[in-house]
Amino acid sequence: MDTTQLTAAVDRHFGDMRTLLEDLVRIPSVSAAGFPAAEVRRSAEHIADLLRSEGATDVRLLEHEGAHPAVYGEVKGPDAAPTILLYAHHDVQPPGPAEEWETSPFEPFERGGRLYGRGASDDKSGVVMHLATLRAFAGKPQATLKIFIEGEEEVGSAHLADFLAAHAELLRADVIVIGDAGVWRVGTPGLTTSLRGLASCIVEVRTATHAVHSGQFGGVFPDAITSLARLLATLHDDEGNVAVDGLVSYDRPEPDLTEEEIREIMGTPPGLHQIGSGGLASRLWTKPAIAVLALDAPRVSEAINQLVPVASAKVSLRIPPGQDADAAVEALRTHLIDHAPWGADVTVAGVERGSAFRLEPSGPAAEAWWEAMRSVWGTEPVEMGAGGSIPFVADFSNLFPEATILLTGAGDPTSAIHAPNESQHLGELRNSILAQVLAIHALG
């Protein structure tokens, strides 16, 4: 088929692909602990059936003890053609507070050209991109396509290294396309070339073995919540820059990014000040960022007149490419211990880490995707970073050092991934599918 025929095939079948996305969203494949593992398995089995229906062979669930299942299938191309591995994940984040959704998070609905529902963008749109690619080629792609759909990305891909090691030959490819990123903005495509890593922990502050009356004993020794608040405040300087010593931080060229866009996406109060220094893109992509994600302390509705003896917080540190994750964890741990307020007992546990990554968008595969995006969107693509983490990119790179890795996807900055009312812009999904099809056609 030529590019005109491929474009017609994508458009002819896009309605079916939209229906597939709706069906996938209806499966509550939440991989987090406390949610039914059976639903993640049901999602995997459904995707395996979809792969078979699109002509894939060797379709199977990949299993590992204690892991949610992944899905594999392949479609053979010509003997001399390259092999391309198409990755996405079928597990999703928990829905969060039901009252913040306009409708049920697992009952998709369309409004304003967007399909709403948990996982509609992250990352069931990536699953649909790969299924639609198979449909467009009608079982005869110009390259051998291997499809690998993971089931644990939203819980840190804890077993992905095990899957890769166990199935290295099955998954080996010349090009690895990770469909878990997105576009620069609606109407402008991009390839993601840098990812921040992660170093997080749970810090606990203890000031007594048990609670005592706040009136009788307040004023001599501090309570744990006040002590924890003072400790957390040391993580930033007065301008809001990260104040942990020993972390990598650097500036990068600024793409077309504005404060107004970020304010609109986040819904910030008009008077809220920025934190940190340097360009916006640098603060999002190549400088460290610290956030307090959660606190364990009595709820306001449960408060009584006592000096609370222990309180804890989950601290998340995002690290830029070039920062060793182990060194970042140690720097954060050292800072928290060294800044214990008033001699309080501070312990650090629950450490999580993930490597940052930098990709080089060059070579035949990258050029095929750049040119396909130019053709489909009619504008110049953006080389962009991502403030979030996909630590397993390093696992792919370490196991397949000769492969070209590309980060693509269909979501956009307003997709509200991980948040209530997540959505996928359907026009961007169509364009992302078509760009992937044309790139594979050109590369083959």
Tell how many helices (H) and how many strands (E) occur in the chain: 13, 18
338 is catalytic: no
CA distance to 25, 241, 337, 398, per residue, from 355 (Å): 30, 21, 23, 12
Contact of 232 with 312, CB cutoff 8 Å: no
Helical pair 37-53 and 3-25, crossing angle rounded to 10 deg: 150
User: How many residues make up the chain in this entry?
Assistant: 444
With b meaning 16 or more CB within 10 Å and e meaning fewer, what string describes 220-239? eebbbbbbbbbbbeebbeee
Alpha helices per DSSP H over 195-277 = 214-217, 224-233, 259-266
Contact of 50 with 88, CB cutoff 8 Å: no
153 is catalytic: yes
Strand arrangement, sheet containing 114-116: 109-111, 114-116, 423-425
Residue in 74, 123, 152, 153 annotated catalytic = 153
The single-letter DSSP state of residue 341 is G
Of 188, 199, 211, give the one whose Cα is nearest residue 336: 199
- CB atoms near residue 187 (< 10 Å): 14
The two three-digit tokens of residue 425, written as one number: 């812009």
Dist. CA 229–CA 289, nearest whole Å: 18
Q: What amino acid is encoded at 34 in this protein?
A: G
For residue 137, list its beta bridge partners: none
Dist. CA 428–CA 411, nearest whole Å: 7
Residues 6+ apart with CB under 8 A from 50: 20, 131
123 preceded by a cis bond (ω within 30 of 0): yes
Contact of 180 with 407, CB cutoff 8 Å: yes
Contact of 164 with 399, CB cutoff 8 Å: yes
The single-letter DSSP state of residue 155 is G
Residues 6+ apart with CB under 8 A from 248: 288, 319, 320, 322, 323
DSSP 3-state percent helix, strand, coil across the chain (nearest 5): 35, 25, 40
Residue in 91, 150, 395, 428 annotated catalytic = 91
Task: Enumerate the active-site residues.
Answer: 91, 153
